[in-house]
Amino acid sequence: MLHAQSRLQRRTSTSVWGMTLPVDQALRTLQTHGRIELRGTASGWVRLTLGLFTVLLGLVTLLAIAPPIVLLVVFLTGTPLPVPALVGGFGVMVLGVFMVALVRSMRKRQQQYQETENSPVVIDGRGLTLRGVGPLPWQDLGPAENRLVMLPSSGSHTLRAVMMLTPSGLHNVNTRMPLHLRPLLSPAVRRFGRGQQHSWVFVPGVQDMSTREVIELLNRARTHMGAWPQR
């Protein structure tokens, strides 16, 4: 089987069927060679989350350095300070240092996850490879769609582009896939009577494609390639 990489051009026009040219080009390459490799990119929510962690890190850093600065000013000016205020200031400083370490750790993990999103997205008869994980067999994946899913980080349902795992996908991901790879697909969510498990796969970001276009490409590829015999 030939290996071909599609270098997608920036979309500038739309075909008569209303489908943007990058999707057309990717599908033609896939139909011709049976395989396509696309350049992955971080999705908007990943970049937004990393930006929020950066802002939060700045805020907790201020929280950590403010008490020593205040105590230094008080010492230099000779202003008397009650013992409870000293203890409280020391407590705030300790809390700030702890928060800085925690937020830095969370931000580092988010940066590492963002780096994995730049991994190639590969579509072929064996399945879908994304964020360095795969190929995930097509029979393990449901259609790509925008769906409300529970995110443990927010504790609420959020509209995200996902591919729900089929029964075979739930088994393969939650029992056979190495533990360190599972979070690259989706977070583990506690399900009643089943404990925590990974139930979906976040749709990958593709350079120069919108989320809507990626969903369309994956669904058409799933229809086309899902019928192929597994190699």
DSSP single-letter state for residue 153 = T
Q: Which residues pair with 20 in a beta bridge?
A: 14
Cα separation, 186 vs 184, whole angstroms: 6
DSSP single-letter state for residue 177 = S
User: pTM of the prediction?
Assistant: 0.62
Cα separation, 140 vs 173, whole angstroms: 9
Pairing of strands 156-165, 195-197: unpaired
- At 98 the pLDDT is 81
Cα separation, 23 vs 221, whole angstroms: 11
Per-residue pLDDT band at 101 (split at 50, 70, 90): confident
Cα separation, 176 vs 195, whole angstroms: 16
- At 2 the pLDDT is 33
229 backbone dihedrals φ, ψ, rounded to 5°: -65, 140
Helix residue spans in 34-82 (DSSP H)? 44-77
- Note the pLDDT tens digit of each residue in 165-219: 999 999 999 999 988 888 888 887 776 656 678 888 999 988 888 888 889 999 9
| Displacement of CA 195 from its chain's centroid (Å) | 22
- Distances from the Cα of 193 to the Cα of 54, 152, 183, angstroms: 37, 17, 21
- At 8 the pLDDT is 36
Enter the tokens of residue 45.
Answer: 């929510």
Q: What is the mean pLDDT of residues 113-142?
A: 86
| Displacement of CA 67 from its chain's centroid (Å) | 36
Q: What is the mean pLDDT of residues 107-121?
A: 75
Q: Average pLDDT over the chain, rounded to whole?
A: 76
Per-residue pLDDT band at 15 (split at 50, 70, 90): very low
Containing 176, the helix (H) or strand (E) segment is none
- In the chain, where are the structural domains located? 21-40+122-225, 45-116
- Note the pLDDT tens digit of each residue in 59-96: 888 777 777 777 777 777 777 767 776 677 777 777 77
